[in-house]
Structure 1
């Protein structure tokens, strides 16, 4: 750590100390939770926090008032974005004009844009989660952070904030070969520690450029690489690790809750943030919890949001637990994306997106690709490549082995597959509801 980074680090914690050291206390609490190896002991430790949340909402939220006689979390309903939007005024606890709230907005990339409130306590807890999980990946406060995402006006930081945070805003839309060359040259020339965080699709663009110029591994002093907001596939993970000589992990989070889980270095599973959330897996079609190991909807209870309570909140994502035998603390085996971003085969079974992508990357001639499922048997494969795709038959045959021999696959050529407003590109679009 150079002198300026040390100053940033010490200034950060000095400021927290002057404010009462609350962030440090939160961080210590999170760290202590990760020292517990028994799930039952961890649940016992979190029980008073969960009880405080539930007791508060049933006495102060009109929406939850009917659950005053609850016996456990099981008595509460599953809610989602639409539930919150339609019952916003009756769900909220903190008045809209309260000085203790922080407004948090979702980008709407799932089709339902909405805004909720956090208390300042929740905002501080989220900051502690971010610090803990960043540290676990190798990042230290004060190090330069290379943030690859869509930097719309809403997210852009003023210059003085960027300087204070040591933040470099890398806009995914500006990642042309020329700009990537300039970016790589700049981070190579600066020898101080740096870390990446951002969209895997942005990382992929950077790696594709490095492939193109036949680059060797780079000496950029990269300490950590965290992929977020999109699925991180093995080919991107391996290339980033190769070119930047740093560990690569994937983070599962959303704007309305914060960090729900993250991979630890060398671990393909996701360590759940049980310190700040209670996580359940529900049946895809019914509001009932599944047995450990079964794929279903990820449902979270935010233990620290006492402004817009998010109790048994359906995130819209799918996942499954693992590592749950003998009272071990469950992890997420995988998070396969939003329900409308998964494919079903002709038998009505979910096809893992990881299988799809593993096969996609065997065809580097494809610049962009998107699968649209229109019905039980009908699929459209949109392809962007420089010339006619010569391996159509082979490609179709491989995907039929996963989708079903009776799948009808139509290949369409396109010049561009548009980005979502969030800057992400949907590779799977499901218009079919089994």
Structure 2
């Protein structure tokens, strides 16, 4: 990682010399002399974060609302855009995807995101709207894939790919032979259940990618490990304590904070992504890896003693109850929880589920079962397995105070 030192110094020097926000940091000695920032800070001080040199050049405007629904924009210089392209090619190849293969891209395709027909054809992208993944439309898609023998790769929300697996389960399908070479899940936690079913039906291993709109690809799993290989070539990654800006020990959960080495238009130095993870040493990797990416802090429930519980524990519950169509676990108060269930028939295993849930959150927990017709999706059409309503309220309060 010493190879990053020139790029890091170049970025920090640029920030202190060309932005109003960092001009008082000219005597810095290390990255840790810079403050941790987040979306709210960047929005509030955006004018003071844009470098003077980038104001004279063409920049790319990057818009995102993420899972929070709060609009957010940054500028990226052309070198950063080129870097993202190179990162995409490299990490796609690590997952088995070759540029030129057909990319089956499953996500919410809004009017703003929908690619024009000609660029999509040139890039060989087949946009698949997650809202269209129902019964006959899934069958129509699979029929088309089987007729087309060219190499292909899946990229998309695990919840969308799960819909395809659920359909194949329902019709007792055998594996689909349509020349799939890679499967990459993004933007949501990937459960072992979805990973194994996609591997079974499409005969290639599935990996999870950790990325965001404002930066790019931050880390990606390998086919042989659940660990995420960090994109150290483009970022400095820190795991910081939840209540201070000190680093946590290897293996401990904390805030994922990154420094984007190549965005010289809107420097993102020690940017708190809002995600939670833990770093570790893998003897098979030359540099530290992400042991886990737990999703956003607002997705993480606390047990009755105040300790965090990995969302993956709740994801592991789903395969045990195949009769349940949808399920979501919510934290309402410090020791009060709600389990939302959507299913067609009466649920006869309520006590069993309550017992399992309490084994995670604490036997003294107050748990309410709520039966619903639908568990609503986020605006992005992603579905959360867990929601901490207490954390969401605190985040909303912080946003209102920053406006």
Q: Report deviation, 1:387.
A: 1.9
Q: Which residue of 1 aligns with 2:401?
A: none
Q: Which residue of 2 aligns with 1:80?
A: 38
Conserved in 2, the CA contact under 8 Å of 1:82 and 1:112?
no
Q: Which residue of 2 aligns with 1:168?
A: 126
Q: Report deviation, 1:112.
A: 2.8
**Unaligned stretches of 5+ residues in structure 2:** 395-403
Q: Is the aligned partner of 1:248 residue 2:206?
A: yes
Q: Which residue of 1 aligns with 2:68?
A: 110
Matches within 5 A, 1:204-243: 204-243=162-201
Alpha-carbon separation, structure 2, partners of 1:85 and 1:362: 43
Deviations 1:219-258 (A, max 9, x none): 1000000000001100000000000001211000000010
Q: Report deviation, 1:45.
A: 0.9
Q: Report deviation, 1:326.
A: 12
Q: Which residue of 2 aligns with 1:361?
A: 319
Q: Which residue of 2 aligns with 1:90?
A: 48
Q: Is the aligned partner of 1:300 residue 2:261?
A: no
Alpha-carbon separation, structure 2, partners of 1:174 and 1:401: 37
Q: Report deviation, 1:97.
A: 5.9
Alpha-carbon separation, structure 1, partners of 2:283 and 2:180: 37
Q: Is the aligned partner of 1:183 residue 2:141?
A: yes
Q: What is the DSSP-based 3-state SS (H/G/I as helix, E as strand, rest coil) of the residue aligned with 2:352?
A: helix
Alpha-carbon separation, structure 2, partners of 1:156 and 1:340: 29
Q: Report deviation, 1:98.
A: 4.3
Kindly report the root-mean-square deviation, in angstroms, between the aligned alpha carbons of the 2 structures: 1.6
Matches within 5 A, 1:390-401: 390-401=348-359
Q: What is the DSSP-based 3-state SS (H/G/I as helix, E as strand, rest coil) of the residue aligned with 1:395?
A: helix
Q: Report deviation, 1:110.
A: 2.0
Decide whether aligned partners of structure 1 residues 73 and 180 sit closer, same or farther in structure 2, where only a CA change above 3 A counts: same
Alpha-carbon separation, structure 1, partners of 2:234 and 2:183: 23
Alpha-carbon separation, structure 2, partners of 1:364 and 1:324: 35
Q: Report deviation, 1:94.
A: 4.7
Alpha-carbon separation, structure 2, partners of 1:327 and 1:150: 34
Conserved in 1, the CA contact under 8 Å of 2:18 and 2:53?
no
Q: Which residue of 2 aligns with 1:344?
A: 302
The two structures have a TM-score, normalised by structure 2, of 0.95
Conserved in 2, the CA contact under 8 Å of 1:94 and 1:308?
no
Q: Report deviation, 1:432.
A: 2.0
**Unaligned stretches of 5+ residues in structure 1:** 1-42
Q: Report deviation, 1:354.
A: 1.1
Q: What is the DSSP-based 3-state SS (H/G/I as helix, E as strand, rest coil) of the residue aligned with 2:266?
A: coil
Q: Report deviation, 1:292.
A: 1.8
Alpha-carbon separation, structure 1, partners of 2:204 and 2:215: 28
Alpha-carbon separation, structure 2, partners of 1:113 and 1:368: 29
Decide whether aligned partners of structure 1 residues 76 and 417 sit closer, same or farther in structure 2, where only a CA change above 3 A counts: same
